[in-house]
């Protein structure tokens, strides 16, 4: 969104609240309402692509950046389990934890859509005049707690759906039952997955924001072409 959104700065700062006549285009005009609509469309497309990239097979598991490993406390026991021939149990738990995250992020769309629909022209102007990650920060402020609240039951259901809870419990119980285990483990798997899933979503949105700001190809609708095409020619 970088190039797309930042190009709105000129018309908003130089023209009236009702109509912005873009420099060098005296015969054409774009209202601030149209400009705000274009911003919403750009955000909607960016969010949609970000979610879609994670909400697919290997969206997490196949990513070097987003792949979920065992929670930090459980990672301490991973080598021990692999050394005694239980590597397949660990691998199965890790795979299904990632499958659960891939499944759950698909439910994030409506939450972001609500934030986009609630965006005022003032919000749009703040994004335009703000830093390069202004849109991502807007979503962080408006959706983080909603995502955590919504994801908690969804993640639990997805973990159960893919048997990740069972496989992870098998890993933890196996380690806890070792005669040499003094400190029993019982990390909160759902909270861990929720945190990692939300972090991955915002990271994807940040990447999409950077892409849309710099990529003219992102102008895929008439309103985007009308608003941003004329500004880029000015």
118-151 burial, b if ≥16 CB within 10 A, otherwise e?
A: ebebebbbebbeeeebbbbbbbeebbeeebeebb
pLDDT in the model for residue 227: 56
What's the pLDDT score for residue 35? 67
Tell me the C-alpha distance between 158 and 151, whole Å. 10
Report the alpha-carbon distance of residue 201 to residue 48 in Å, rounded: 11
Mean pLDDT by 10 residues, the chain (234 residues): 37 32 41 74 82 94 93 80 84 91 90 86 74 85 89 88 87 80 74 90 85 69 59 45
Which residues does 215 contact at the CB level (< 8 Å), separation at least 6?
A: 3, 4
pLDDT (0 to 100) of residue 220: 66
End-to-end CA distance of the chain: 19
Question: What CA–CA distance (Å, rounded) separates 4 from 69?
Answer: 36
Write down the pLDDT at residue 16: 29
pTM of the model: 0.71
Residue 38 confidence (pLDDT): 73
DSSP H or E run through 20: strand 19-20
- Give me the pLDDT at residue 30, please: 57
Distance (Å) of CA 190 to CA 90, 143, 166, 202: 17, 19, 12, 18
């Amino acid at each position: 969104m970088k190039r797309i959104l930042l190009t709105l700065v000129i018309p908003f700062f130089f023209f009236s609240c009702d109509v912005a006549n873009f420099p060098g285009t005296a015969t054409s005009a774009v209202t601030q309402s149209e400009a705000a609509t274009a911003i919403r469309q750009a955000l909607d497309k960016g969010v949609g692509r970000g979610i879609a990239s994670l909400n697919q097979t290997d969206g997490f598991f196949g990513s070097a950046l987003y792949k979920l490993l065992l929670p930090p406390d459980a990672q301490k026991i991973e080598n021990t389990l692999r050394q005694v021939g239980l590597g397949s149990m660990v691998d199965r738990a890790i795979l299904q934890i990632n499958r659960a995250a891939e499944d759950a992020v698909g439910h994030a769309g409506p939450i972001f859509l609500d934030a986009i629909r609630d965006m005022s022209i003032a919000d749009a102007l703040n994004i335009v005049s703000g830093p390069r990650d202004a849109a991502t920060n807007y979503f962080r402020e408006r959706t983080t707690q909603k995502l955590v609240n919504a994801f908690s039951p969804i993640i639990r259901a997805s973990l159960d759906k893919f048997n990740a809870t069972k496989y992870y419990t098998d890993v933890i119980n196996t380690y806890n039952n070792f005669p040499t285990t003094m400190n029993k483990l019982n990390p909160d798997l759902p909270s861990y997955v929720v945190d990692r899933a939300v972090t991955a979503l915002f990271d994807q949105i940040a990447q999409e924001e950077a892409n849309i700001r710099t990529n003219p190809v992102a102008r895929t609708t008439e309103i985007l072409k009308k608003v941003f095409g004329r500004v880029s020619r000015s």
